[in-house]
Structure 1
Amino acid sequence: MHTVAVLALDGVIAFDLSTPIEVFGRTRLPDGRSPYRVRVCAPTAGADVDAGAFVLRAPWGLDELADADTIILPGLENPTAPVPREVLDAVLRAASSGTRIASICSGAFTLAATGLLDGMRATTHWVAAALLAERHPAVEVDPEVLYVDNGQFLTSAGAAAGLDLCLHVIRSDHGSAVAADAARLSVMPLERDGGQAQFIVHQQPPAPRGSVMEPLLRWMEENARRELTLDDIAGHAGMSTRTLNRRFREQTGTTPLQWLHRARIRQAQYLLETTTQPVDRIADRVGFGSPTAFRDRFRRLTGTSPHAYRRAFQGPAAAGPVPAARVAEGSA
């Protein structure tokens, strides 16, 4: 039987603890046997682990990691909290013996702290991706996928993506039929693969407060529906296109047209979430002259199509057109 050790840290609120416990604990082989033995571990055996909405007793300590076949590192409320040296050492010892180690959500910070992800591609919840990249520059952080499988080391995005990762592990261990059965028990589709994009609200790169770019960005947001050219933007700013490009990149990290496209996509995301307007109408409304160009740009920035995005996010209460002023805000 394969042992899965779910490792929680003392004194830090742990998220997503229940996902691996339930998924691996309920998995069954065709003959009814359980292929996994789940162990909840903590630096102190018998410690109570705060999971936010509930408290869980961790009967096993770090010694259990040495006998584990897979170690799961759940998310942390505070991913910047120091990881105890004894935890890092225990994970490193397990890794040296070939143990598979996977993280869910911000658990990637714990895994990255060991150095095992250095030089590898990894993911975490998109909200924490920039922080992970900043704190661990040797890790290639990809915020736009559900999970990354590097073989021995795996990382996943938020809670739902953690479920995707667990099902992926089960499929790798025991095949699609067993994984599909586990997915049905979780009322979860099996076909979501790791390369599917996280549904990210792409925030605009801000300009420093009080900079000359602040009023220009507001003007661009308000006029995103117009077919603005670089010359139009430069003319409004009173600069040459060359000077505009240079200053814009210095203060926002991107170009004026790239910034404008993101503003339009954010407005489109809001309309797809809250209205039933046809995609072609939304494309025109947010400033894309061509529906084809809109679909291409939307897929490049979000990793999915407008129709798929709408299916994922639109609730039954979605009504008609949203007020123009709300669209101009560019909220998503």
Structure 2
Amino acid sequence: MLWNPLEIARRLRKIGLIGIGQRNAHYVLMHNPRKFYPRVDDKLITKKLAIEAGLPVPELYAVVREEHEIAELHEKIKHRDSFVVKPAHGSGGDGILVIHGRRGDKYRRANGALMSREEFEHHLSNGLSGLFSLGGQPDHLLVEYCVKFDPVFERVSFKGVPDVRIIVFLGYPVMAMIRLPTRLSDGKANLHQGAIGVGIDLPTGITKRGVWGTEIIRDHPDTENSIIGLTIPRWDELLHMAARCFELSELGYIGVDFVLDRDHGPMILELNARPGLSIQMANGNGLHPRLAKVEALAAAERLSKDPAERVAFAKANFPTTG
């Protein structure tokens, strides 16, 4: 069946989907002062701000800023069997190296492949040169704790660690999803690389439906287990932490990414000043009606300074429908 483009546009408007142009013009540019972008674009600054605010983050083992520090890193992490290397200004999961073990002087990657010291050093050198960073600028690298995901996700994830994204507007959580790694995404929780986005009902923390590329799905393609009806552990904690990131970042429109560690519970992974819009497809709901409700509060000068009140408003007003 062929759809008329005008009919498609009408249907999209009806459910309140926003596009990149609208997101940039009405939310990112209007509510995200550029002077605060380093707070979310640099993962090291984000981590320090979160720690100062009393919000949990993965433990930092080392920071690599210069080429000579790469060789020194082997000694610093010799007692760590697992860790993650991340470019501080990376985006879309590019350049992230997950180590799950060792064999002799080699590092074992998350996919089971062994990596020699030379290959390891070459990857880090590429990261410092800016190969994985926004704009290709020289970067620094974070070496941190490797998350062990909560057992609730064992049946719906392929090798990697799932993460939860919550969109926050003027301090109010407005939409959420969990991203599940697949074989296609090589164990990474990145939708553009083939991970699954699963919408989460904001009031309850229960998963509602999933999207894999352009396909609406109910089961994980690799494990064949249902991705519908999962209850996200410690959901209220995640919502409250997300709401507090408004004050932490001083940005009005952000995506907050969390991981749920089996030993340490919820931890903030990173913040994003330009969160993608596929979260709408994962939920089968558009962002616009929810953002408009928060804008109405702002127009009436009724925005709350209390994160708990903002979470209560979100749970009362933003259920996932359909």
Q: Tell me which interval the TM-score lies in, with the shorter structure as reference length.
A: under 0.3
Structure 1 or 2, whichever has the larger Rg, is 1
TM-score, reference length from structure 2: 0.24
TM-score, reference length from structure 1: 0.23
Greater strand proportion: 2
- Whose relative contact order is higher, 1 or 2, with alpha carbons under 8 Å and at least 6 apart? 2
